[in-house]
Structure 1
Amino acid sequence: MSTWDGLEHLHMDCLFLAPGQRGLGLGALLMDAVSAEARALGLTEIQWQTPTWNEGAIRFHDRLGARAQEKTRFTLTVER
């Protein structure tokens, strides 16, 4: 469930390809498969994240037509 709009979505933590596998069209094929899974589940949105410094990934996501959303990510170290 998305806290942004209260709608269910398919969450993909991130999309990663090893450097030697990039530029071969595999990312687009993987995103096609993820999109097909979302459709099969009756979902209309996929959400994922990528670091702001990963300019290559951001260009790839832009080419897909994905829209970036502002978000602040928090981490909290828990003492043992």
Structure 2
Amino acid sequence: MRDKAKQVLREGFDPGANKHAGSFGHSFETPAREWFEGQKAAWEPAHFARVASRFENDRFPEIGSMYIGQIEASDWRC
């Protein structure tokens, strides 16, 4: 973990900004996928497909690879 934290620091990011995600260096895409996959059983199939499609087509290309702690409100364009 120490080596991973050092790598994140070398890349110019704060490794402590992602503690809530469970490990260093989580991109937005990782917990977002976990979240909407976790909703799959509770949602109607058509709703799940719409949400998944919106993430795949709109969010992940723009901010999916960004570190969670680095995303600003201005990055979240609708």
TM-score, length-scaled by structure 2: 0.32
Q: Which has the higher strand share?
A: 1
- Structure number with greater CO (CA < 8 Å, separation at least 6) is 2
Q: Which has the higher helix share?
A: 2
TM-score, length-scaled by structure 1: 0.31
